[in-house]
Structure 1
């Protein structure tokens, strides 16, 4: 017996029934989880209340208000902090049928939040350079953690974070939501169970970021703790496009922030999107705790302007299993796996069927060289990957907290996906091939090893937490 989406010509109703049996997203009332007393709810705090928090973490936890409840919010920008408090209280007011849900605590410093014994878990949705340190400190404070990707700014701090979190025994979910989406899990299961034969190549398409102009120095807004926002990175004059919008309009305040295009705070799209798609490739290959052994990359970097992350690029990475992985902005966004017995394509989007020119049903987000590959399903005696309940990444995390079990995207996996991206980035910066030992987590030469870490500005940084700086 096997489980597979019914891709043979059939009614839409029949297909949806089969998809639901596979865990395809369906609308299920929250009451299915059962009414929970307030004292039994997971008390969650949000650290970083910007664009990603508002688009992912807030709605992700709101959906399960009978399992968890936001009780505190934290941000270095007082305006965003006030927005977050208003959002949480007004949303829970509507969900609970009261005029307004009161009592959401606010913190300008996450250290004070972590000292709050009533808080069980934290969602961390800060800029990339502020991922590893608060995750480590949250684990040491006894909090369970949901951390947005990428796991870290550097490979060295990613390793520090993974070690601290694992030693703490806390539940950690990386924000690699593709692991919880049906089409990605099913694609990986098909590949892991040999439907393509031996995998030889993987093609990954990621977006790119354009450069920008020079930006003048501006006064630091009184509502922003800019020194702490810079954190462990070097001092730099304030300009709005280095940080995030300060518009008076609510919607404009949560437009895509400028820090995403500054190497001071992240590596650009190679980690921004690469941490998702490389993570999927690792699951498909079964290399979640490993990485490439060699990378050769070329990239164009802006020669002037504030925004300096990579532009157009091409990456080739080799793995010990014989797979060669290619990444470029010229490929369609998604992953194409090439095997000895065919190919498989998977990308984001709602899993729906459409009729191809050949008149046979296909999916726009999951496709293969032979439709029988998709029809084959996963038999009971074959490998089945972790299936998040309702294909919901936040629910998977909350369920893991309740049951004290590992979620779908644990800390070591998140670190390894990020480190593979940073290996490629090192080759981009050096303009040459680099050798990588995924077991020792070291490059094959001293110049490349100099890129494993960055100097950390006191009193911030992961080395400040470990005391080994």
Structure 2
């Protein structure tokens, strides 16, 4: 099927909630799974996989990691050892687990014994494996940002919902109670009419020049680059070869957009919860930003983004605000943040033991109870646990693909506004700019054959 035909056929379900069957089909679990465990394949074994995604999932008895994939053979071996050592210690049997290894994730998706995959790859390798996994009828946990461009994000959401697979976006703030509580209080009018949302989000520093280096024998660098342009190898551009520290690709525009997508999708998705705009977007966006004039790292530094919504809310995002979300209404304000939570030891913002996870202009606002007939939002205690529960129940997870796509879109059009340098009018239904063909041209990127969503046979 041609890509444009598929998009046309699925356009009717582009916004809203997909209803999944309430009975779990027998194909959900591997037929040889002990005690009907959910067999999981891990795609990408880097710092987020090791410190967060696998660590948060493997502790659930209903889950069983059975395979790992990475384009770096050193990390692939480490991933297998991580899985096998965990189950050996837990079971007391050294032979309990013998995780399969794959250097190409497409081969992993052909394994009928795998029910679900976790995708913990660099940002430019998110949408393509997720789409292929959906066509393979695997349920998916996908690290944010959901896409590199608005165009591939729309395709991802349409395919996932058409295939009726469970996709949970890794925006784990949704499972932190303070973000739900803040959104519920705002949605139920505890600060009056909401008019302004201020989001604190840091920028990234410039970096040094990085000379060309020999490609390590253990790294399939061509596949690591994927759909992005061919460019010389240097370790600072990829990931450390001898540890699991913060990788350099996070600060290279070739592979993402910097902190506006790196943490922006977390905050934009959480803010949309309180703004009641999860399935839409702003009607205008404008931005200013500083970009490095030299060095390997070329993502944005200090910045300010202003987005306006049809419901009258203005959202301001900048590193000048405290990291978190501040809702301002006609009768007061609420501020919410992660507090002392960190997802990994190399999070870009240092842990603050004194940070308030929830604050308000009047402490009484925070103790206000939500009545039985008021708005109650989706409750989850753990993002990965919720994903596993939804694989069993076939209910929609707390961070479904369309909400993730809409939040990621705000990140991406904010980045485009930084580049274009004028106020852009956005149509959230058509997902196009009304007043700039230059900006519209930036809604997708050219893709290097054979990698990329353009070359997936639908």
The question of a shared fold, defined as TM-score above 0.5 by the shorter chain, is answered with yes
Would the aligned equivalents of 1:90 and 1:100 in 2 still touch at CA under 8 Å? Answer: no
Partner of 1:381: 373
Give the one of 198, 201, 215 matched to 1:220.
Answer: 215
Would the aligned equivalents of 2:168 and 2:399 in 1 still touch at CA under 8 Å? Answer: yes
Q: Is there any run of 5+ residues in structure 2 with no aligned partner, and where?
A: 1-32, 342-353
| CA 464–344 in structure 1, closer or farther in 2 if over 3 Å, else same | same
Give the one of 42, 45, 49 matched to 1:53.
Answer: 49
Matched, 1:408 2:404: no
Give the one of 156, 161, 175 matched to 2:156.
Answer: 161
Matched, 1:270 2:260: yes
| Rounded Cα–Cα distance in structure 1 between residues aligned with 2:35 and 2:125 | 31
Partner of 1:354: none
| CA 125–363 in structure 1, closer or farther in 2 if over 3 Å, else same | closer
Would the aligned equivalents of 2:83 and 2:97 in 1 still touch at CA under 8 Å? Answer: no
| Rounded Cα–Cα distance in structure 2 between residues aligned with 1:96 and 1:393 | 25
**Alpha-carbon deviations, 1:169-226, whole Å to 9, x = none?**
0001000101111100111111111111111111111122101111111111000000
Partner of 2:293: 303
Q: Is there any run of 5+ residues in structure 1 with no aligned partner, and where?
A: 1-36, 248-252, 352-361
TM-score, structure 1 normalization: 0.86
Would the aligned equivalents of 1:345 and 1:366 in 2 still touch at CA under 8 Å? Answer: yes
**Alpha-carbon deviations, 1:32-86, whole Å to 9, x = none?**
xxxxx7140000010000011011111111120x211100000000000000111
Would the aligned equivalents of 2:213 and 2:235 in 1 still touch at CA under 8 Å? Answer: yes
* 1:45-444 aligned within 5 A: 45-64=41-60, 66-99=61-94, 101-247=96-242, 253-349=243-339, 364-388=356-380, 391-444=381-434
| Rounded Cα–Cα distance in structure 1 between residues aligned with 2:171 and 2:87 | 26
Instruction: Find runs of 4+ consecutive structure 1 residues off by over 2 angstroms.
Output: 97-102
| Rounded Cα–Cα distance in structure 1 between residues aligned with 2:95 and 2:276 | 48
Partner of 2:130, secondary structure, is helix
Give 1:99 shift: 3.6
Partner of 1:41: 37
Partner of 1:459: 450
| Rounded Cα–Cα distance in structure 1 between residues aligned with 2:131 and 2:438 | 28
Would the aligned equivalents of 1:94 and 1:100 in 2 still touch at CA under 8 Å? Answer: no
| Rounded Cα–Cα distance in structure 2 between residues aligned with 1:193 and 1:441 | 29
Would the aligned equivalents of 1:43 and 1:68 in 2 still touch at CA under 8 Å? Answer: yes
Cα RMSD for the two superposed structures:
1.4
